[in-house]
Amino acid sequence: MSDMSMAIRSFVRRGVGAARLDPWTYEEVEADRGANGQAALMVALSAVAAGLGSIQNHGLGGVLWYTAAALAGWYVWAAIAWLIGTRWLPTPETRADHGELLRTIGFSSAPGVLRVLGLFAPIAGVVFLVSTVWMLVAMVVAVRQALDYCTTARAIAVCALGFPVYALTLALSLLLLGPWPI
């Protein structure tokens, strides 16, 4: 089996494990310092899926916009989660760097790949709502694993404190994109 084939299999396995909310998958990507590219690819795929799923609203330019905004938002969100988790809400077990949060949070966007189903207008709203909630739950698992928390409550607190900043960034991005096709 070629290296490329193995990398693709690893990426798909990790994406499925992340979507299944498997803590061991998040531990694996947290520990793999070489998985930053895979995490970025997962964020980009999720964003492309969102762009395609809403192409009737924003056109092809929306796909590019969603992707750029998602990659920027991912980086910022990982920094915010790191700051809150390691400086404001650490436990004695908390050991993390920005890269660990980048990798785990990147893979928490795996359920967002389903947003491509937004192409089917009758279910678009439901698809976006379900995948967004699923991604938020996955983000809690990602934060819990990356910050080595023993409880989910602390990870929820990190996400609850940091998510509004991420959501504001996303909302501003959508406002800049506007309702018009590009």
Split at pLDDT 50, 70, 90, the class of 174 is low
| Among 30-44, 54-68, 87-101, 168-182, the least confident range | 168-182
Of the candidates 169, 135, 148, the one whose C-alpha atom is nearest the C-alpha of residue 97 is: 148
Decide which of 60 and 91 is more confident: 91
**Location of structure tokens 């938020």:** 136
How far apart (Å, rounded) are the C-alpha atoms in residues 81 and 136?
13
In percent, how much of the chain has pLDDT > 90? Answer: 68
pLDDT score for 182: 36
* Residue 139 predicted with pLDDT over 50: yes
Q: Is the pTM higher than 0.85?
A: yes
Residue 102 has pLDDT above 60, yes or no: yes
Cα distance between residue 64 and residue 18, in whole Å: 24
- Using the predicted structure, report yes or no on whether residue 35 has a pLDDT greater than 90: yes
Distance of alpha carbon 66 from alpha carbon 70, whole angstroms: 6
User: Rounded to an integer, what is the distance from CA 90 to the centroid of its chain?
Assistant: 22
Which of the 8 DSSP states describes residue 120? S
134: closest CA among 117, 151, 154? 117
Q: Is the pLDDT of residue 171 over 80?
A: no
